[in-house]
């Protein structure tokens, strides 16, 4: 192998390895029993589908259902509230606002979070 091909081969291998480390956070196919307007939040290791509805009588309170992203089974059906003071409003239809779910809190990309206030499931 001549000296010109070695750098090209090395660059190609580095590019392939870097592409292997880059992954897409693409949602899985939505199970049939999940509402079509639910939002998927998750990462490479999985996620959940989320459907929240704002309470009319309490601006900081949201009823949320969290669905298993494989089976569509409801894992959580409970009330959540914004934990941080400040603007209590969130756009529950903004797919880019929601970041992650850790089993207790729904984290928003703007640094706020929704915390459980009571549990039905």
Q: What predicted TM-score, i.e. pTM, was given to this entire model?
A: 0.74
The pair of three-digit structure tokens given for residue 73, joined into one six-digit string? 């089974």
Domain boundaries along the sequence of the chain: 25-119
Which tops the pLDDT comparison, 40 or 45?
A: 40
Q: pLDDT by residue (tens digit) across 54-69?
A: 988 887 889 999 999 9
Between the CA of residue 58 and those of 20, 62, 97, what are the distances in Å? 46, 8, 20
Average pLDDT over residues 115-119: 80
């Amino acid at each position: 192998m001549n000296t010109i091909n070695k750098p090209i081969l090395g660059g190609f291998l580095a590019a392939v390895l870097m592409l292997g480390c880059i992954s897409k956070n693409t949602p899985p196919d939505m199970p049939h029993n999940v509402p079509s307007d639910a939002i998927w939040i998750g990462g490479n290791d999985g996620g959940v589908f989320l459907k929240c509805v704002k309470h009319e009588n309490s601006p900081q309170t949201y009823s949320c259902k969290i669905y298993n992203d494989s089976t569509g089974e409801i894992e959580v059906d409970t009330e959540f509230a914004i934990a941080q003071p400040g603007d209590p409003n969130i756009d529950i239809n903004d797919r880019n606002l929601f970041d992650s779910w850790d089993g207790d809190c729904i984290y928003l990309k703007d640094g706020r979070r929704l915390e459980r206030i009571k549990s039905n499931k």
